[in-house]
């Protein structure tokens, strides 16, 4: 009889052999639930007696968590964990772990790609050339990047890698808003720590890297966009719920800000009537900032490995609800 039971709740990957190797290392039996958008009843049917759950996008809500009999850990593929009810898991003394130390290169590359495409108007120019227009000036002036101010909202792993990459652009200054990072850490990396209002007012470019929590939901709305420069470029590769989509649409439509590059969205996949699709001064991507073949392998291995650590009585650094420790 297996020492532990682990269940993968995921329909993204063709197989879970990377994860299986990690669980088999400690004699755990690994099972798979591949239902798309499974209900609480479907999840509990397989997970009720599980010791570990590794989950992608399925909702592990209070109903599921309260029905778990002996679960010790819920591991979330990825950095975000908003599909897991952390409060309920804490009440049940179940550790929730994520994988914050993967795709740092990929997401920072995505932020830079969106940033440069906005600043240099690449999609519009590509479209113009393909339709026979040349040297079009209908989309307003371009501005030099060197000498400008770049604002980072959040200063965890990914924005620190992005900051490293930005050093080659000869910026005037990098501003950081993150109330949880000590000032000496920010200044030690050559940036200036400021409050959010200062960052919004002074930045030419703003890149968002905050977690989606109850207190950060729609942290970018009409009030925040109104404080930005009319030439500002706004980038979000973090979580769609951080931004009020309607407010962003209005800001772009009315010229309160110049451009936006958006990899993450409030509703995914985006609806057919998604308002941002009707604007030319926004670049949209399909939440693929995290992806490369290398990062996908790393994510799968670490999601299982951190769950294994908990089953073995160890404490991964990525435990979200540290009250359980």
32 is catalytic: no
268 is catalytic: yes
Q: How far apart are CA 282 and CA 276, in angstroms?
A: 7
Task: Tell me if the bond preceding 269 is cis, omega within 30° of 0.
Answer: yes
Indicate which residue of 17, 223, 268, 312 is catalytic.
Answer: 268
Block residue for tokens 């050559």: 190
Backbone torsions φ then ψ of 30, nearest 5 degrees? -115, 130
Query: Concatenated DSSP letters for 103-128?
Result: SHHHHHHHHHHHHHHHHTTHHHHHHH
Cβ(213)–Cβ(242) below 8 Å: no
HSE value, Cβ hemisphere, 13 Å, CA-based, for 134: 1
Pairing of strands 205-208, 4-9: unpaired
Those residues with Cβ within 8 angstroms of residue 23's Cβ, 6 or more apart along the chain or in another chain = 4, 6, 29, 30, 52, 304, 307, 308
16 is catalytic: no
- Bridge-partner residues for 205, per DSSP? 150, 233
Indicate which residue of 62, 125, 192, 287 is catalytic.
Answer: 287
In which region does residue 62 sit, left (phi positive, over 0), alpha (psi from -120 to 50) or beta (all else)?
alpha
Q: How far apart are CA 12 and CA 78, in angstroms?
A: 13
Q: How far apart are CA 12 and CA 215, in angstroms?
A: 30
Indicate which residue of 239, 265, 266, 300 is catalytic.
Answer: 239
Q: Which residues are catalytic?
A: 239, 268, 287
């Amino acid at each position: 009889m297996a020492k532990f039971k682990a269940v993968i709740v995921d329909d993204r990957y063709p197989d879970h052999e990377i994860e299986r190797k990690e669980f088999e290392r400690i004699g755990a039996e690994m099972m798979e639930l591949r239902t798309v958008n499974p209900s609480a009843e479907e999840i509990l049917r397989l997970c009720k007696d599980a010791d570990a759950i590794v989950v992608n996008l399925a909702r592990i809500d209070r109903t599921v968590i309260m029905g778990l009999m002996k679960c010790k850990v819920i591991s979330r593929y990825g950095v975000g964990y908003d599909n897991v009810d952390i409060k309920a898991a804490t009440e049940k003394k179940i550790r929730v772990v994520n994988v914050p130390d993967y795709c740092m290169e990929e997401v920072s590359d995505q932020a830079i790609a969106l940033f440069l495409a906005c600043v240099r108007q690449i999609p519009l120019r590509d479209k113009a050339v393909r339709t026979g227009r040349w040297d079009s000036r209908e989309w307003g002036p371009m501005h030099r990047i060197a000498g400008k101010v770049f604002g980072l909202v959040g200063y965890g792993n990914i924005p620190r890698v992005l900051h490293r990459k930005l050093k080659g652009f000869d910026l005037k200054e990098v501003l950081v808003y993150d109330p949880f990072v000590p000032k000496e850490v920010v200044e030690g990396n050559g940036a200036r720590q400021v409050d959010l209002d200062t960052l919004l007012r002074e930045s030419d470019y703003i890149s968002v890297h905050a977690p989606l929590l109850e207190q950060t939901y729609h942290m970018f709305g009409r009030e925040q966009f109104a404080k930005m420069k009319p030439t500002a470029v706004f980038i979000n590769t973090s979580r769609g719920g951080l931004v009020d989509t309607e407010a962003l649409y209005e800001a772009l439509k009315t010229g309160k800000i110049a451009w936006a590059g958006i990899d993450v969205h409030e509703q995914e996949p985006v609806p057919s009537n998604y308002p941002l699709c009707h604007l030319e001064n926004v670049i949209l991507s399909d939440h693929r900032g995290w992806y490369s073949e290398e990062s996908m392998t790393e994510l799968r291995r670490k999601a299982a490995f951190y769950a294994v650590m908990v089953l073995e009585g160890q404490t991964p650094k990525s435990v979200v609800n540290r009250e359980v420790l």
